[in-house]
Chain A
Amino acid sequence: MNWRAFGALLARDAHVAKRNAVQLFFQTFLQPLLFVFIFGKVMVRSGYMPAAYKSLLLPGIMAISMVFTGVWAVAMPLIAEFQWTKEIEDRLLAPIEDIWIAVEKVLFGMIQAIVAGLIVLPLGWLLLRPIDIGIHSPVTFSVITILVAAFSACGGLALGCSMNQQHIGLMFSMVLTPMIFFGCTYYPWSALNAFPVLQKIVLINPLVYASEGLRASLVQGFPHLSTIAVIAALIFFDILLLAVGLRQFDKKAVS
């Protein structure tokens, strides 16, 4: 393991992200904040939604922002760089085993996802104040945030190394959109009590654990999946997606 090369790879990604910072900012935050504004502010103040919905919504929005950012940050560059020009090859020829290039992408995606999550939270809070939300257990919150970031970045690796450029649209409409809507992001899992079959099916969606876990650590008083189950499920999905992602990466990197 060559730490200097690994550090230089991270520095390269940070440099590129810095160059695209403004674009990245709007891409990451515009949609979630609009959502927060309409559902948390407009609908609540006009009386269509109860005020308590605000604190229920924000953790879900944080989960969406993190997952979207992590997937995007890892998958999109990989899809482009493994395409026709194979521009990732200059990094594959860096003096480090191929697998670490994938790991670096995951780590950088995680950092971006965590930053996105930690920015959307205060921004949402500003928009929705007064809102009953707080980090009640910093340790649980940190663990869940890191696991959610890892799940999004590993998912990005798996998707980015399995998809072609022409399937990007499909990736969003067929994978990410259903994941978000069935991910307990805009409602708690317990709201699905009225739909017992659906309630079981959505458990294959890792975003459910992300939303429920963040909700559990940020908001008190709502029924949620047990924190242990959430952490176990997130670890399971992290490992699964990382394994699939690394395998796909190796297939793409070496012919």
Chain B
Amino acid sequence: MAIGVRTKDLRKIYNSAPPFAAGGVGIPRAGARDGKRGKAPKAQVVALDGVSLEVEPGEIFGLLGPNGAGKSTTVGVLTTRVRPTSGEAWVGGHEVWKDQAIVKRLIGVVPQRPNLDFSLTAAEILIFHGAYFGLGTKERNERAATLLEKFKLTDRANQMVRGFSGGMMQRLSIARAMMHDPQVLFLDEPSAGLDPQTRILLWEIIREYNQAGKTILLTTHYMEEADALCNRLAIVDHGKVIALGTPASLKASIPGGYLLRLRFGKQPAELMTGLQSLAGVREVRPQDTTGADVYADRGGSLIPEVAALATSTGAELLDVHISEPSLENLFLHHTGRSLRD
């Protein structure tokens, strides 16, 4: 039976810069703590600022956010690699920190950067992984062969992984995570650095694994990936969940849905009020002194009216960018920043 994952008020404060794998930097705190005498004061970094999530059994759940938002730290806590400063994390009925060994048995983890055992060949990596999880010799050999085949690595089975390309390492990392047939699969930025073909293979494999009744939690900063794969999503920024729901419901929550990013030569006040009064415009947000983000329920058909308005107010229209309803827009709407910023 599928099992779920949940966290409650998870906070994580690093007393020095978090490790690379935990996703770079969060919010530097104003009040840096004074270190012991003679030492430089350590900066505290808040990586998680009260994250509460509930991932249902058998769903594909996505954490979407920019680098440093706290996605990897959340995964780190749930996979026993990061000790939370406060709060609770559960995998199924087990509290992660208290029942480490049991939780490790239930989960499979694909890290952000491949951490393959460089002293072993591809096949040995899978076989020893199976052994750590108590699989018998026959079973682990068979499973390893099947997974190598599935991930198109059979011809590399007996090579040391040191010379593997990034994509091959990533595929092997995923195969390894599936080796002990975990109930919950964590994938941290699984498609970062993959070519489009491999990405599609990966998506298929994730869906198939999910159809076998497994719960999947993935992090991504690719909107397309979140959109294509996830049943539900949490949008995270600065260590907080800022929006939660299905991709469709999240997109529907953006006023209008369409986003027109406009740039003008100059920006007279009447231009802004004019934009606001155009049919279908839901929200106008001035950007800097020469631009505006316009949320509207139509896209291209608004442009002639915008252009006419610009001409009549003497503000030259320099640039137009139309985005269709997307999670990218949603993120921008909530944070004022682009996902890729």
Residues of chain A having any CB pair with chain B under 8 Å: 2, 4-5, 8-9, 11-12, 15-16, 19, 77, 85-98, 253-255
Contacts and interface: CB of A to CB of B under 8 A. Distances in A.
B74 interface: no
The 7 closest A-B pairs by CB, nearest first: A8-B131, A94-B132, A95-B105, A16-B119, A89-B115, A95-B104, A4-B134
A97 B119 contact: no
B118 A85 contact: yes
Interface stretch (B13-21, B54-62, B148-156, B235-243): B13-21
Given A85-B113, A95-B102, A95-B105, A90 B129 contact: yes
B117 A87 contact: yes
A96 B101 contact: yes
B245 to A, nearest CB: 30
Contacts of B115: 85-90
Nearest to A90: B117
Contacts of A77: 119
B133 interface: yes
A19 B114 CA distance: 23
B208 to A, nearest CB: 23
A11 B128 contact: yes
A10 to B, nearest CB: 10
B101 A95 contact: yes
Contacts of A95: 101-102, 104-105, 132-134
B104 A94 contact: yes
B81 interface: yes
Interface of B: 14, 18-19, 21-22, 76, 79-83, 100-102, 104-105, 107, 109, 111, 113-120, 124-125, 128-129, 131-134, 176
A255 B119 CA distance: 24
Contact of B101 (A11, A88, A89, A97): A97
B111 A87 contact: no
A152 B4 CA distance: 45
Contacts of A90: 115-117, 125, 129, 132, 176
B18 A5 contact: no
Contact of B104 (A11, A87, A88, A93): A93
Contact of A254 (B21, B82, B120, B133): B82
Contacts of B80: 92-93, 98, 254
B79 A255 contact: no
Given A15-B124, A96-B104, A87 B132 contact: no
Given A90-B116, A93-B109, A255 B132 contact: no
A105 to B, nearest CB: 13
A15 B104 CA distance: 24
A36 B273 CA distance: 92
Given A12-B132, A89-B115, A255-B81, 11 more contacts: A4-B131, A5-B132, A12-B128, A85-B114, A90-B117, A90-B129, A93-B104, A95-B133, A98-B100, A254-B82, A255-B19
25 contacts: A4-B134, A9-B132, A12-B128, A12-B132, A15-B124, A85-B113, A85-B116, A85-B118, A86-B21, A87-B115, A88-B115, A90-B125, A91-B117, A92-B80, A93-B81, A94-B133, A95-B105, A95-B134, A97-B101, A98-B80, A98-B100, A254-B83, A255-B14, A255-B18, A255-B81
